[in-house]
Amino acid sequence: MVARPALFIAAPASGHGKTTVVAALARMHTRLGRKVRVFKCGPDFLDPQIHALASGFPCENIDFRMCGEADARWRLGRAAREADLILVEGVMGLYDSEPSGAELARRLGLPILLVVDAGAMAGSFGAVAWGLKHYKDGAPITHALANRVGSDWHAELCRAALPEDIAWAGHLPRDLDAALPERHLGLLPAAEIADLDARIERMADLLAATPAAEPPPAVEFAAPPAPAFTPLLAGRTIAVARDAAFCFLYPANLECLASLGARIVFFSPLADSALPGCDAVWLPGGYPELHAEEIAANAGMRAALRAHVDAGKPLLAECGGMMACFETLHAADGESHAMFGLLPGATRMQTRLAGLGLLTAELPEGTLAGHTFHYSTCDTPLAPLCHAAAAQGRRSEAVYRKGRLTASYMHCYFPYNPEATARLFV
């Protein structure tokens, strides 16, 4: 066992500011010379980008369903051996998802800092904190922080409302200059927020003057051995798309491919006119709808991907990567743009959410877990290879295959089944 200070940061719901608080805490402790490792609960590509910038280290995801409990405990244990502080950001509200953040914190032995947007409340701040701590099986909430308060007097009203078993962690003012901008899939990618570092610094300065600045208590983490990998991808080179349009990459997925023996090279479907020398291609998700004109104009990349697929080489396309593989993308404004044309059909952006949730796919290569989150729909004459199934009978996602091209709205978590992952790329 390894003991390290650790904290689980949660909120009553999305939008209360827990991502901002986690990033500010990470930066504040980093400035004090501490090595901080940040984790994000649940499937998420955007918050981890911000935490990576704030802490200086990749932010990994943990989720007992998508990633598996053993994977989560191993990653936390590895971080505990290297870091001075571990921060874990919850997903949505404290009792949302399955298992919920409350259950994750209990099972992992993590104390909870509750972040509450108190902008439209005062005495109810204490009721919300007490209710979340004692609801159902309870949650190990030790401190509560009032976010977006209007004045010191407003903060004092919130502090006075807290029950005796929850300590006051201070408050943060309503500060539009420090708020993190959003769009339809959540926060903007870190690379698109020009002054992100300044925003994080500003919030870190404010947090440094609150009780939340004190290091949390030490938590004991198990130190299980690293998972063993068979080098099924030894000698193979995988070209991974990475740019503004294709930016949804779990660090654990890249680590998994490398552990399987693959050599990873990155390329930009927006800027490059040719693929690097490779045996397989991975087009992850992102925002092809925001860069549709650039994709349409890149005839060289379209030809290179076509030659790759026609040569019978593997290509995995996930969500935005799949959208770019179809013939046409219809934008929300009514404009239509040519895509890479590797699959027949088109996708159409809409303002309403089209898919959300955790998925499991039974592929010929093996079972893979992942998630879906998208605002587009797909129209294709292709018959699905299979469907990635959601829990509790919710909407499933089709998985398409044409030759060695596998495409779906599902974002896969490779460490869930490394052997099945390897088979997709050989």
| Domains, the chain, ordered by start | 2-221 (3.40.50.300), 237-424 (3.40.50.880)
- The DSSP call for residue 158 is H
Cα 172 to Cα 104: distance, rounded to the nearest angstrom: 26
Instruction: Look at the chain and count its residues.
Output: 426
**Residue 292 buriedness (CB in 10 A; 0-12 / 13-18 / 19+):** buried
Cα 249 to Cα 45: distance, rounded to the nearest angstrom: 7
CA-nearest of 136, 137, 85 to 113 is 85
H helical segments located in 265-331: 292-297, 299-310, 320-325
Cα 135 to Cα 216: distance, rounded to the nearest angstrom: 23
Do 296 and 335 meet the contact criterion of CB atoms below 8 Å apart?
no
- For the annotated catalytic residues, the residue numbers are 319
Phi, psi (5° rounding) for residue 361?
A: -120, 130
> For each of the chain's 426 residues, which pLDDT tens digit applies?
899 999 999 999 999 999 999 999 999 999 999 999 999 999 999 999 999 999 999 999 999 989 999 999 999 999 999 999 999 999 999 999 889 999 999 999 999 999 999 999 999 999 999 999 999 999 999 999 999 999 999 999 999 999 999 999 999 998 766 667 766 666 677 777 778 889 999 999 999 999 999 999 999 998 788 899 999 999 999 999 999 999 999 999 999 999 999 999 999 999 999 999 999 999 999 999 999 999 999 999 999 999 999 999 999 999 999 999 999 999 988 899 999 999 999 999 998 888 888 999 999 999 999 999 999 999 999 999 999 998 665 678 999 999 999 999 999 999 999 999 999 999
pTM of the entire predicted model: 0.94
CA-nearest of 368, 342, 385, 384 to 422 is 368
Which residue type occupies 181?
P
Which residue type occupies 355?
G
